Amino acid sequence: MQLRYAFRLYPDAGQRTALARAFGCARVVFNDAVRAREDARKAGRPFPTAGQLSRKLITEAKRTKERSWLGEVSAVVLQQSLRDAEAAYRNFFSSLNGTRKGPRTGPPRFKSRKDARQSVRFTANARWSITGSGRLSLPKIGAVKVKWSRMLPAAPTSVTVVMDAVGRYFASFVIDTDPVADRARMPETDRTIGIDLGLTHFAVLSTGEKIGSPRFLRRAEKKLKKAQRELSRKQKGSRNRAKARLKVARAHAKVADARREFHHQLSTRLISENQGIAVEDLSVAGLARTRLAKSVHDAGWSSFISMLTYKAARYGRTLVKIGRFTPTSQTCCTCGAVDGPKPLDVREWTCAACGAVHDRDVNAAINVKTAAGLAVSACGAPVRPGAVPAQREETGSHGFPTGNRAA
């Protein structure tokens, strides 16, 4: 499995200038590639190939007066920018013909220097290295100070340098993990669990444990509103507006970092304690269009389930997602009677068939576990065949180090 390990970078003034130059050159090459393909489409000509774009936009462009400054950065950075443009078009066409899963992907857009995220990628042939003193040596940038929060489990295959909206720098390493070593870290257990995700409590487990919702965005809402109000009063283009924008970005980054840290800690704990985990396949996009949209986004269910998915695949656990239309809140977990829908303010109910008193969320979590085949019915027979090991949706799942995570 491929994972990403991100570590905080602390470049000096000269290195920040060199990184800004690399970000700018990569952005220009990407935009030139998009423009060349769009011009070809409008003229009815075939799309230029990757080799033709490389020769025209990099090799020949360096010899011109207008693009001579492309030679000031590593050629690998420019080549990787072309690869990114190729991948963007490939995803767009795959989305058009229906071979790509997930929501519809639009055509590549031009990048801007004002984008919240800037990045450049160095592959192995760029000859980057980690020095004996623990610094990250990058071509035409120098040896950058790194805050190592943990050891890399293997030699990385590439590194991406990212600058976020707050102006923080991160080095994101791609690591090929060892499945045998990963599974040895978490021995098998006979415990299984069902999880009911919600807003009153972030998660209620089939064991009866309730995990409170931190509500990071709600708690920071007053501070965010004040920072945003101050930003709106600043004159566009002024230095004070730039400072106010950074203040807003820092406030949002603090919320995102805290939420991500909470998701990582909880998902790691559940994966380490349980061999099988069952969750609902929630339609987060649909719920985000309701009056509960802000609370749904604040909870970050999609991010949490994504973490459970790749960690389950990495450590040999079983993750089962049951259908979102399964009536987990309407079914009695004791006798299996379906008692019908209930309004959200009903948090406890009594089964009309057997008289059992249920906590709404705990009952739903038990039903999630039962529907996933991780539990047995009242007669002692499995509800359905055993769970199938979870599959990773895509390579490059993010496994960020504690305390140093990219926003």
Q: Which residues are catalytic?
A: 196, 280, 361
Beta partners for residue 120, in sequence order? 161
Nearest 5°: the CA angle 226, 227, 233 is: 90
Alpha helical stretches, state H, 147-215: 179-185
In contact, 159 and 136? CB cutoff 8 Å:
yes
Nearest Cα to 184, choosing from 334, 316, 354, 356?
316
Whose tokens are 């943990």? That residue is 150
H/E stretch holding 194 reads strand 192-197
Instruction: Return the half-sphere exposure (C-beta side, CA atoms, 13 A cut-off) of residue 165.
Output: 15
Whether residue 315 contacts residue 182, with contact meaning beta carbons closer than 8 Å, is answered with yes
Q: How far is it, in rounded angstroms, from Cα 155 to Cα 135? A: 15
Closest C-alpha to 247, from 232, 262, 258:
232
SS3 54: helix
With contact defined as beta carbons under 8 Å apart, do 299 and 202 qualify? Answer: yes
Q: What is the DSSP letter of 57?
A: I
**DSSP character string of 189-214:** -S-EEEEEE-SSEEEEETTS-EEE--
- Spatial contact of 364 and 324, defined as CB atoms under 8 Å apart: no
The residues with which 376 forms a beta bridge, in sequence order, are 382
